[in-house]
Structures are given as structure tokens and as C-alpha cells.
Structure 1
Amino acid sequence: MPVPVLTTPRPEDADGWFDFLVTQQAATYTGLVPADFAERQRSYRDAWVPELAERFAHPGSSRALVAKVGDEIVGIASIVDAPLGWEVDGGFTPSPANRQLDRLYVSRDFHGTGLADALLSNVDDGRPMYLWLIDGNERARRFYSRRGFADLDEQFAAGDSWGGVAMHRMLRSMAR
């Protein structure tokens, strides 16, 4: 199996990042989200791709990595300042930490290879952070639990594009 190269995403990676994200989310959450989930997510393309390109050009305090084999994206990870606008708009504040792991997805071909751990380890700045977890995603819950994240005793409904699926946050108070 080829070894992915981890790099900081560039603005020209925004299209591929978006497409990879939607594809991986649809695969990860099959049976948990509506059948037209990917179509719903793709409707955000025109807004999100320019935002991603800008963020990759001027990352500020956000941290992102992309894993590639050749030109193909096989993994993504990013940590951002929290709370995000959708969290504020949805009333999901206060945040349990000032940083959020907002993306960590790896192609199924690379599950079990250590790529997710490499992405997380290399994007993590060691500060306390949280993430959102779709209830029923036990593989992810176990992965994050092994890395010091704990489920918070809360439950929220995801937005319309996610079909209102149940979700909660996991918090890691200190880096392990």
C-alpha cells in the first residue's frame, strides 16, 4: 500500500477537500443520516469551496492537514477556534473548550493503517479541544476515547442537512 504524504492544504486543494469530505461523510454515516445526505451537503459547494480556499491561504490559528497519495486526497484533519458560527446560531454555547477538531476523515482504504492517528497527532496543538460525534458512530467514539476524549452528557439534534440525527460532543481536557 502506498504511504500517504501529509501536507498543509493549499487553496487549490479546496475543491478536492470538499469532495473528499462529502464522500467520506456519506460513507461514514450511511444508515444514520438521510439517504440524500451527500446531495444535501453538495448544495453547499459554491459557498464552502471559496471559504476553504481562503482558510487554506490564510490559516490564522486554524490547523489543517491533507493526506495524499499522488494527487488523490486520502485523509483530512483540521482544528479551529471555537465556537463556530453554526454552534452560536444553534445555541450550542458555551463551548466546552476554545478549540474544536472539526474534521478528521480517512478513506476506507486506509482504515486501520495509522493514518487517522498520524493526521490527528500532526494537527493537534496539545490544547484542550472538543469534537462533535454523530451518535451511533461507534468506530469514531472508540478511536477518540483511546486518545483521551470523553463523551459529554448531552444530546443535540444535528441540522436539517444531517436529518436531525442525534449528536453530542466529546472533550479532551489535556493532550496525552
Structure 2
Amino acid sequence: MKFSIRRASPDDAEAYSRTHLQGLHETYAQIMPPAFHRHYDAELPVLIAKRREALEAGAASWLAFDEAGAAVGIATSGPGRDDDRPDFELHHIYTLASTHGTGLGQQLLDAAIEDQAAYLWILNGNPRAERFYLRNGFEPDGTSTLCGPTWHHRPMFRMHRQQQVTGGHERTAAVDSRQ
């Protein structure tokens, strides 16, 4: 399966938000209660408006498409928001279940953070994501917290990785993130 990945523009707000919503549903189907999914379904118009605003403000977001042109994955990253970890943050990556095992998640990760030192937050009980990030050099840093009410106060933990260097050379992204 081949994918194309490009920086999302404000015109992509709806496709990005719908893909995000489907990714949330598929990723957290067994982890989150039905109320979580109903909440996000009802919030779709708000999510689209907020994503459009973020993209208009220059948010670093990527959208992945399959060969038929359907949106199948998303990623957003940017400066760290945690006071004790001011480096780069991977806000989220979601790929649709139909693409799992194809390498799309890796392509989105490479586009979103390249070889930078970075951190992310991961919901407890998501072993597939945890394995993916461990394979990519992330390690739990000992920090955990509870999510807010929208996420039903579920526990989450933070993972961090150092800048990636391969064979004496910095690793480069397989995707042109400037598109």
C-alpha cells in the first residue's frame, strides 16, 4: 500500500477532523466508554472549526492519503507544552485500522518529528501504541497524570526520546514535511 503525506492546510480541516474522529473511535473502542465516543461524535463541527483555526495559525499537522485519495492518517507536533519538558512534542498520530501494519504510522512519525528529541503522552492500556513508540526510541520518563473529564480521567504517562542518530549521521525523514 502506498500513501502520500503532506502538510495539512486550513482547507483540510474537515478531512483531518473526520480522520481524527475515526482514529479515536478505532483506537479507543475497547479502552474508552461509549460516552467518550458519543461526545466526540457530537463535537465534530467544533473539532473542524478548531482544526481550521489551528491550521490557519500555522499548526504543524500532516494528513496521509491512500492510493484512492482517501484520508487515512493524521499527525500534529510542535513545541513542548510541558513546563518541565520544553523540547518538541508529538501531540498525536492516528492511522485508520485498515492501514495498521503498513508502515504509515512510521511515515507520519518521521514527518512529524523527524530526528528531533521529542516527547508524547500515551493513554494507559494502549499496548500497540506503546510498542510502536518503544521501537522508535521512546521510553517512559516516569511522569504520569490523569486525563481530563472528556477522557474520563483515565491515567496516561509520558514517553521521551533523545535526538535520533544513525551511523554517525542524523536520521532524516522519509517524507518531505515541507509540502
TM range (shorter): 0.7 to 0.9
Are 2:155 and 1:166 aligned?
Answer: yes
1:63-105 CA distance string (max 9 Å, x none): 221111244210111112221xxxxxxxxx4242422101111
Are 2:12 and 1:30 aligned?
Answer: no
Identity, % of aligned positions: 26
1:26-175 equivalences under 5 Å are 26-59=25-58, 62-69=59-66, 70-83=68-81, 93-175=82-164
1:4-39 CA distance string (max 9 Å, x none): 211111212111211211221122112321222122
Q: Distance in 2 between matches of 1:7 and 1:39?
A: 30
Residue identity opposite 2:116 in structure 1: R
Q: TM-score, normalised to structure 2's length?
A: 0.82
Aligned length: 164
Residue identity opposite 2:74 in structure 1: I
Q: Distance in 2 between matches of 1:35 and 1:54?
A: 28
The answer to which of 137-146 and 18-27 deviates more is: 18-27
Q: How far apart are 1:152 and its partner, in Å?
A: 2.0
Q: Distance in 2 between matches of 1:58 and 1:165?
A: 30
Q: How far apart are 1:126 and its partner, in Å?
A: 2.8
Which position in structure 2 is the counterpart of 1:19? 18
Q: Which ranges in structure 2 are unaligned for 5 or more consecutive residues?
A: 166-179
Which position in structure 2 is the counterpart of 1:86? none
Q: TM-score, normalised to structure 1's length?
A: 0.84
Q: Distance in 1 between matches of 2:86 and 2:116?
A: 9
Residue identity opposite 1:80 in structure 2: G
Q: Distance in 2 between matches of 1:80 and 1:42?
A: 26
Q: Which ranges in structure 1 are unaligned for 5 or more consecutive residues?
A: 84-92
Q: Distance in 1 between matches of 2:74 and 2:84?
A: 23
